[in-house]
Amino acid sequence: MTRTAYQNIDALIYLRENNALPIVSVLAVQFAVTVSKWTLRHRTRQALGQLTETQLRDVGLTPLQARREAARLFWQI
């Protein structure tokens, strides 16, 4: 079963509000979630940079928009 980003956020909120884990554990989980988001962003932007014009048109982006997004760093939203 795959968890969605919203389920992960809900789990973090639950842990924080109920003090179910020590603060160090909560921080470790938050760090892991952040690194996972960065990795996903990096891979997505790499893939976006490799799409053809036809594929970009299918997703509603221009080549310029795709290049700009692909050039962004992984920590930039």
Structure tokens at 12: 């973090």
Residue 69 placed within a domain: yes
At residue 12, the 3 state secondary structure works out as helix
63 lies in some domain: yes
Query: What pLDDT, on a 0 to 100 scale, did the predictor assign at position 46?
Result: 95
pLDDT digits (tens, 9 = 90+) for 14-30: 766 766 678 888 889 89
Can you give the pLDDT at residue 5? 63
Specify if 1 maps to a domain.
no
The pLDDT, as a whole number, for residue 10 is 76
52: left (phi over 0), alpha (psi -120 to 50) or beta: beta
Show the DSSP H helices in the chain as ranges.
Answer: 5-18, 23-49, 53-59, 63-71
Instruction: Give the residue numbers spanning the domain of 59.
Output: 27-77
How many domains in the chain? 1
Contact by Cβ (8 Å): 56, 32: no
For the stretch 24-73, pLDDT in tens is: 888 898 999 999 999 999 999 999 999 999 999 999 999 999 999 999 99
pTM for the whole structure:
0.67
pLDDT score of 1 more than 50: no
Whether residue 75 contacts residue 45, with contact meaning beta carbons closer than 8 Å, is answered with: no
Residue 13 lies in a domain: no
